[in-house]
């Protein structure tokens, strides 16, 4: 009797195991509320090519500068710190956000420039895109 139950359990296990091994993960995506996005009036979030220069005052911190210009942009503070330090090495001793040099002009990057920095694509800090969609092609009548 035990042998029959054992064979039955072993057979069921062999039939069910492939189903469990081929199961796909269940992914849940969370989308921001569209009204939340429409409330953002920060120029950096409205125009992905918007960037500007800032002259560092004595006693000013990077977090104060980021809050002043990027507040309500939806961009991550830590990520912005890294991007600004990477682009403005001349204004930070040893690439440390706590050692920002006064009277230096720093570049506050656009979202597109941050994206290029993240992807390792070289870019000119003063480049301006003309907004043309050169890679869009239309076919048909």
**What is the reported pLDDT for 88?**
94
Instruction: Give the long-range contacts of residues 74-83, CB within 8 A, separation 24 or more.
Output: 74/37, 74/40, 74/42, 74/45, 75/44, 75/45, 75/111, 75/114, 79/114, 80/114, 83/109, 83/114, 83/117, 83/118
Domain ranges, ordered by start, for the chain: 41-119
**What is the reported pLDDT for 34?**
47
Structure tokens at 16: 């069910």
pLDDT along the chain (141 residues), means of 10: 72 66 56 53 88 94 95 89 93 92 94 87 67 52 49
- Angle at CA of residue 98, ends 115 and 95, nearest 5°: 50
Q: What is the pTM of this model?
A: 0.62
Can you tell me the distance from the alpha carbon of 93 to that of 98, in angstroms, rounded to the nearest whole number? 9
**What is the reported pLDDT for 124?**
76
CB neighbour list of residue 81: distance below 8 Å, 6 or more residues apart: 62, 63, 66, 97
**What is the reported pLDDT for 21?**
55
**What is the reported pLDDT for 94?**
92
**What is the reported pLDDT for 123?**
75
Structure tokens at 122: 């070289």
């Amino acid at each position: 009797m035990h042998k029959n139950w054992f064979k039955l359990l072993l057979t069921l296990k062999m039939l069910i195991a492939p189903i469990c091994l081929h199961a796909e993960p269940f992914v849940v995506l969370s989308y921001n509320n569209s009204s939340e996005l429409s409330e953002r009036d920060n120029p950096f979030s409205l125009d992905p090519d918007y960037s500007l220069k800032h002259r560092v005052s004595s006693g000013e911190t990077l977090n104060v500068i980021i809050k002043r210009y990027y507040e309500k942009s939806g961009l991550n503070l830590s990520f912005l710190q890294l991007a600004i330090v990477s682009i403005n090495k001349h204004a930070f001793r040893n690439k440390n956000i706590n050692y920002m040099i006064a009277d230096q002009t720093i570049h506050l990057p656009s979202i597109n420039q941050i994206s290029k920095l993240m992807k390792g694509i070289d870019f000119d800090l003063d480049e301006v895109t003309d907004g043309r969609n050169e890679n869009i092609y239309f076919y048909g009548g």
